[in-house]
Structure 1
Amino acid sequence: MQEQTVLLGNIPLMNSLGTSIVNGIYRIVINQILQSPGIYYSTGLDHNGISVYTGTIISDWGGRSELEIDRKERIWPV
């Protein structure tokens, strides 16, 4: 068995503007966070400081549905 270093590619350095220059063109890195299909629950506070519960339904195909439950247990589409 022989140990060998293999060069897979170059990673450009980021400049002070938060961009990289590749072949003379400014490039930026955009993060994309994907959520798996399912139901996600979260809680937060409204403008009066009252707890609001939110449920997000993400389907395999198509868009997502978001529902909000207020303190009177009413369900609102968001």
Structure 2
Amino acid sequence: MKKSLLALVLLAQAATFSIAKESAEDTKQDVAKHRAIAAAHLAAATCRESGKDEDVCNKELQAACKGLAIGKFCGMKHEH
């Protein structure tokens, strides 16, 4: 009985934490990260439009995204 009650309490706590809203500051930081990632991708598109090689543009993208997103393509990669 005690184990069941403990499990129920832990489950309730987990549910409470999972539905908690993020703070306004967290939202502001998230938006800023998305804008920075978008700017890096826009720069990569501009790089490719200028006629530069894909490898050169990818290296610039990687440098611009360092610490922003997951993966060497700034959290996003499309097929070629």
- Would the TM-score normalized by the shorter structure come out above 0.5? no
- Could you state the TM-score of these two structures normalised by the residue count of structure 2? 0.23
Normalized per residue, the structure richer in helix is 2
> Higher relative contact order at CA 8 Å, sep ≥6: structure 1 or structure 2?
2
**Larger Rg over CA atoms:** 1
